[in-house]
């Protein structure tokens, strides 16, 4: 959610995610669920939807624990969060610093998310894009998960 810029597995997935982004931007709360969520809806028609794979389930749990620690509260299924500008800024700051990136390991989208975080979250579709951060900001240049193999233009660096 923090790095969604309109890219995804299929055009149906992207169209669905754009609708979810519009709902969040309109002020709808985020509700944590176990298993497939509204974002997964665009993939559930597939015979082997990866949303149910054990690796995805484990990544979701890792993300829940990381965000719980950051917020200082235990988040569980049914917990609600508000995608306010302050909340998104806090989450994006922690994401950029690598504090809530444990669930990213093994994800096929990690390099795209690296580039988006390194760009100061330019082009994100959820929440007002924060001000661009300098490329040499410490959080972007020193954390190993934020040293992407690919530059902002997608080429190998």
Model-level pTM? 0.75
pLDDT value of position 9: 79
pLDDT in tens, the chain (157 residues): 999 999 987 888 899 999 999 999 999 999 999 877 887 776 656 556 666 667 778 888 999 999 999 999 999 999 999 999 999 999 999 999 999 999 998 888 899 999 999 999 999 999 965 454 444 444 443 444 444 433 444 444 4
pLDDT value of position 156: 41
Q: What is the DSSP letter of 125?
A: S
Q: Using an 8 Å Cβ cutoff, are 99 and 142 in contact?
A: no
Hey, which bits of the chain come out as E strands?
30-31, 80-81
What's the N-to-C CA distance of the chain in angstroms? Answer: 26
Alpha-carbon distance of 103 to 109, in angstroms, equals 12
């Amino acid at each position: 959610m923090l790095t969604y810029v309109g890219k995804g597995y299929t055009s149906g997935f992207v169209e669905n995610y754009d609708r979810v982004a519009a709902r969040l931007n309109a002020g709808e709360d985020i509700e944590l669920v176990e298993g497939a969520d509204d974002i997964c809806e665009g993939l559930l028609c597939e015979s082997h939807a990866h949303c149910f794979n054990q690796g995805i389930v484990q990544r979701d749990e890792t993300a829940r624990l990381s965000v719980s620690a950051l917020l200082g509260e235990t988040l569980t299924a049914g917990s609600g969060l508000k995608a306010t500008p302050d909340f998104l800024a806090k989450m994006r700051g922690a994401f950029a610093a690598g504090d809530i990136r444990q669930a990213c390991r093994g994800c096929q989208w990690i390099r795209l998310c690296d580039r988006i975080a390194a760009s100061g979250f330019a082009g994100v579709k959820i929440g007002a894009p924060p001000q661009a951060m300098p490329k040499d900001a410490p959080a972007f240049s020193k954390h190993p998960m934020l040293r992407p193999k690919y530059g902002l233009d997608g080429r190998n660096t």
